[in-house]
Amino acid sequence: MNSSIKLWGGRFLKKSNPLFQNFNNSLHTDYQLVKYDILGSISWSKSLLECKVLTIFEQKSIENALKILLKKVSHNPKLMLNSDSEDIHSWVEFELVNMIGVLGKKLHTGRSRNDQVSNSLKLWCKNIIYKLIEDLKKIQYTLVLQSEVSYKCIMPGYTHLQRAQPITFAYWCLAYIEMFKRDEQRLKDSLLRINSSPLGSGALSGTFCNINRNKLAMDMGFLTATNNSLDSVSDRDYVIEFLSIASISMMHLSRLSEDLIFFNSGEVSFVELSDLFTSGSSLMPQKKNPDALELIRGKTGIVYGSLISILVILKGLPLSYNKDLQEDKGVLFSTVNIWRNSLKIAELVLKTLRIQRFNCLKSAYKGYANATELVDYLVNKGLAFRDAHHISGKIVLEAIKKKCFLENLDINIFKKYSDLFELDVYNKLDIVSCIDNKSSKGGVSFNQVLKSIKNIKNSLYFSCIN
């Protein structure tokens, strides 16, 4: 273990209690910020040159040493874990001093860890947001490919978990694409707010260094510098916003998982999940359990916990920096792991499942999922909707009594309830026409689905090359 410098030893007469030291240190978590801490430090050294705290020679020496350190950590990102530094900021400074001596001690001039930590964390978040946008595109792409091969696969659509109206497997896939598209948009929107740099806010009231903070911000890839230093070092809205987007997206993944668990169940068997993403029982040899999907559903709860944690950590926190804020990174990092892994696993489960088309179709025929068509038929013939609904309900009851499908009832039975019924009612009740009737925007008709598939493929393609 390296013994590192403390950043704040001067006014203390006694050494910290080791238990407290352990409790206080955050290196084991925030080491993941190392790249961004170094990049921020390089930019900060340029600001110190601008305000003449460093000479050009000093700035270059610091920059070169930091670049060497960056290379070292990119080869070994856990390099710092055997040091006893308090956090990643202390570690980088300690390494710099080790490399270039006393000059390294100038780097922290006019800067505080309060602005530094939020700056590094914002840079880290920005990078992960771009990665997540790509992850979300990938799952949408997998879903659109599945919808292309299943656009003719008819299955029941449910409300209250009761068969409601026939839909297609493709249509189900397209519904989830919409959700993931919204998650992607939410992440893009959040970039607008995260894109300002707190560096140069100092401890809470700004820096004495006369620097152009906007220039500094842009050097690190931010759009601008933050407006108020007191707010800048207190603000973790971007963490809350990120975790709330994660929670919404995990909710989508959890519902997708729940649907697939149901589709894969022995009672329904609309799909068969691949052996690659299921596991067996230690006791019952026949079992093949949808563990991957159950875990996504379970881990969604953990992500919600992270969102609640950060909200509670911040609630009632006085301005500006308080050590409570150090707890932001643990919840953020673990959520990113869960979210990215869940997206990947869900994508692979979708890619490898087998659709059991016959079971889907057979089930769509059951449950009188075409009863609404009967209502529409009567309405088209001029009957008021309420009356049409009542008559159709009576006919469903009759079919239930006879234990047959609506389309198996004799025409005289239809006529018994309304003389508007003609033989063309059988065409209307046909399952394919049930689907094709919903042909306005957003409907399940084959043409609408094909149109949506085309639009989604185009937009995914264009957003990939943009």
Give the footprint of ligand ARG on residues 343-362 (CB under 6 A): none
Told to judge if 89 belongs to the known catalytic residues of this protein, a careful annotator would answer no
> How many C-beta atoms lie closer than 10 Å to residue 29's C-beta?
18
Of residues 30 and 373, the one with the C-beta less far from ligand ARG: 30
Q: Where are the beta strands (DSSP E) in 113-240?
A: 154-159, 162-168, 196-197, 224-225
* Placement of tokens 């856990």 in the chain: 78
Of residues 87 and 183, the one with the C-beta less far from ligand ARG: 87
Tell me which DSSP letter residue 409 carries.
Answer: S
Q: List Cα–Cα distances, 339 to 60, 249, 259, 281, in angstroms.
A: 40, 8, 19, 27
Q: Residue from 54, 66, 117, 211 that binds ligand ARG (CB under 6 A)? A: 117
Region from 130-138, 168-176, 321-329, 392-400 binding ligand ARG, contact rule CB under 6 A:
321-329
38 contacts 92 by C-beta, under 8 angstroms: yes
Applying CB under 6 A, does 321 fall inside the site for ligand ARG?
yes
Rounded-to-integer distance, Cα 245 and Cα 190, Å: 9
CB of 259 to ligand ARG, least distance (A): 40
Applying CB under 6 A, the site for ligand ARG has a residue count of 10
Of residues 241 and 327, the one with the C-beta less far from ligand ARG: 327
Tell me which DSSP letter residue 78 carries.
Answer: T
CB of 20 to ligand ARG, least distance (A): 13
- SS3 (DSSP) at 297: helix
All residues at 6 or more sequence positions from 127 whose CB lies less than 8 Å from its CB, including other chains = 36
Q: Residue from 32, 49, 85, 87 that binds ligand ARG (CB under 6 A)? A: 87
355 contacts 150 by C-beta, under 8 angstroms: yes
Helices 328-352, 237-264: axis angle to 10 degrees equals 30
Q: Quick check: bond before 320 cis, omega within 30? A: yes
Rounded-to-integer distance, Cα 444 and Cα 450, Å: 10
CB of 90 to ligand ARG, least distance (A): 8
- SS3 (DSSP) at 324: helix
CB of 321 to ligand ARG, least distance (A): 5
Of residues 233 and 453, the one with the C-beta less far from ligand ARG: 233
Give the footprint of ligand ARG on residues 324-343 (CB under 6 A): 325-326
Shortest CA distance to 153 belongs to which of 138, 174, 134?
174
Applying CB under 6 A, does 122 fall inside the site for ligand ARG?
no
The alpha carbon dihedral of 370, 372, 373, 378 has a sign of positive
Catalytic residue, candidates 3, 75, 160, 282: 160
Region from 71-79, 322-330, 338-346, 430-438 binding ligand ARG, contact rule CB under 6 A:
322-330
Applying CB under 6 A, does 293 fall inside the site for ligand ARG?
no
- SS3 (DSSP) at 165: strand
Q: Residue from 108, 113, 252, 428 that binds ligand ARG (CB under 6 A)? A: 113
Region from 97-105, 113-121, 166-174, 429-437 binding ligand ARG, contact rule CB under 6 A:
113-121
- State the DSSP H helix or E strand holding residue 354, giving kind and residue range, or none if neither: strand 354-355
Give the footprint of ligand ARG on residues 16-75 (CB under 6 A): 26, 30
CB of 112 to ligand ARG, least distance (A): 7
Of residues 231 and 398, the one with the C-beta less far from ligand ARG: 231
Told to judge if 439 belongs to the known catalytic residues of this protein, a careful annotator would answer no
Residues that bind ligand ARG (CB under 6 A): 26, 30, 87, 113-114, 117, 321, 323, 325-326
Q: Which residues are catalytic?
A: 160, 281
